[in-house]
Homo-oligomer: A and B are copies of this chain.
């Protein structure tokens, strides 16, 4: 049993201009390490944003705390809050933003398939 931490003080500010007011605490080894899935806790401060960009891989964003707005290929924002998640296809343009702050799990994996009731 190996211990890991993803608390706010274990997070870092990622490089790149797609993210405003965002910290990331990874749960899994980085891309290219051979891990078949990338999982990380993203914390968006008030007015934080993951700017519009295409998903590299199929992706699930699951909101753990706070609330915000998400959009997919049609660019229309929909509200999202705790207990709610979205699935984006590989290559799908998408965006996430929040007025008051939001903590989300992001999962990315080649071949990732979301839960569907009855599936």
Give the interface of A toward B (CB within 8 A). Answer: 1-8, 10, 26-30, 33-37, 39-41, 60, 62, 64, 70-74, 78, 82-88, 92, 94, 105, 107, 109-116, 119
B2-A34 in contact (CB<8A): no
- In the A-B complex, the 7 residue pairs with the smallest Cβ-Cβ separation, listed nearest first, are A1-B72, A7-B83, A29-B113, A26-B115, A4-B85, A37-B37, A35-B113
Contact of A35 among B71, B88, B112 (CB under 8 A): B112
Q: How many copies does the complex hold?
A: 2
The chain B residue with its CB closest to the CB of A26 is B115
The smallest C-beta distance from A74 to any residue of chain B, in angstroms, reads: 8
A28-B71 in contact (CB<8A): no
Residues of chain B within 8 A (CB-CB) of A88 are 1
A29-B119 in contact (CB<8A): yes
- The complex places the Cα of A36 from the Cα of B111 at a distance, in Å, of 6
A2-B114, A36-B37, A85-B5 as given contacts; A30 in contact with B119, CB under 8 Å: yes
Residues of chain B within 8 A (CB-CB) of A113 are 28-29, 33-35
B72-A27 in contact (CB<8A): no
B37-A109 in contact (CB<8A): yes
